[in-house]
A and B are shown apart, each in its own frame.
Chain A
């Protein structure tokens, strides 16, 4: 985190509304992406965002180390995402997902394969891949966010990647 953000975090812990709002605002896309990777639809992801911002606002004063603001915030988003999934037990709707993702250079088939492969992974593999590979977090940071040992994070990441390759290959073989 840069120095300016650290100052903002310090102020926010002391109750400065503006600093907190700015911190959240500059992280809103990241929060949304993480929430979306869990709940997989726009409406639920937005609900998770609202709840997470609320929870962060009322508990920032308890944040002990200002350097840990980002990990702390991601953890709140993940916890709220998991709570929401548990609460509504919604099944994943792949169509919504494709509709929402940017239409690019790749065919829907290609995307669908990777998406479905990633989504069919156990949550424990998927979350470390999202945080490590997509959000470029360090293994140590992921360990503190998910509250699991660093070695478990590494194991889950590499196993997850392996599984992904296997699943993809199998998919093509079946084709």
Chain B
């Protein structure tokens, strides 16, 4: 009896083991499903023959209402343009990784958001040459941008990307805590240009009154201020720069740049006075949390927009220290391109054109479905529907990061915007000083080995010197020596050659 029980127990164990193995085998395959569907309205015969363009963008917003928005856009696309689309949105953190993976296989993505200019994508063969397509584009599309901004997206004599329609100039300013200034009873003129001495006195006053508050917080984690008025040709590592907003077109080492040295010396004094957050290099907190919560008084911002347009005017005074200018790379910071391995480039370009010029589509992309995701208020602006808070809304691309769409200005304004914001932005750009090297965007592929070595030196010294954490003169001497051994001269020569290629010697 007991033996029989034992045997059946053994049998059962065997079967269980087999079952488990089968389950594990199936589990292995779990990730292998193909994502079919997605494209809507495929049942109708005529629509099913239209090419489906896959559009991928980065966003800080929510895109849960994707099905409805995609269906609405596809309806317009089918009627007017004879194409269909499939929309994909990724968070900024994971976007570039996801994009790289998708670009390695054909048919995964056709139109995508290009960050930092097309040259890296061209080097790697990831992006399609759209020179001819642009030549045949509609006049409405072409008229959105000045030629210089389109040319900036060329590599050699071929065009690879269209810039996003945003502002093309920035100023350098100080965001200061409005509540603290008002409490101290200081009158602020935020229309004038402030000097560093005036900023210094203001911070000293604030720190006398609020000793437990950080005087100057970093612009972002580990960065006091990204850069000043030197032109780096879109190279965020600032290896080889042109002084005075690119005026001279002569590339020099950052360690010879007068503005870098002088500003660093001032910051060194401020740091030793305790005005700058002592942990500036190691903190990961940014001013946008520190200032509103009353833990910091102010911060620098090197990529700021016009007064009161992007920062909440009830929280900050924005004190301009250098008025706005358009850097050489201003037109390539955000742009749109077509995948190098796309199957239907014409359809992809048609989609891009529609996303820039069709205001109905622009509104759908920004604000979602009217009545469900937004309502139009009395001023004609997009507002949240009654009873729907921002965090409950199923489509917040426009509210969260409309600048990351092809043409935010094609859609209506947000309720939080000032009247005529886009006209003001255009006027602001028109008033900007233009970089002497406009349109030259550094392509590092010829000097990649030296460049990687220089990046290492940059990581060590650039911010430490600029934020005043280490002695300016010692720091610059060491930085200079390390850049020299890393091959900085080759990079300077390469940058100079790229400027000369566009502007002559």
- Are A and B genuine complex partners? no
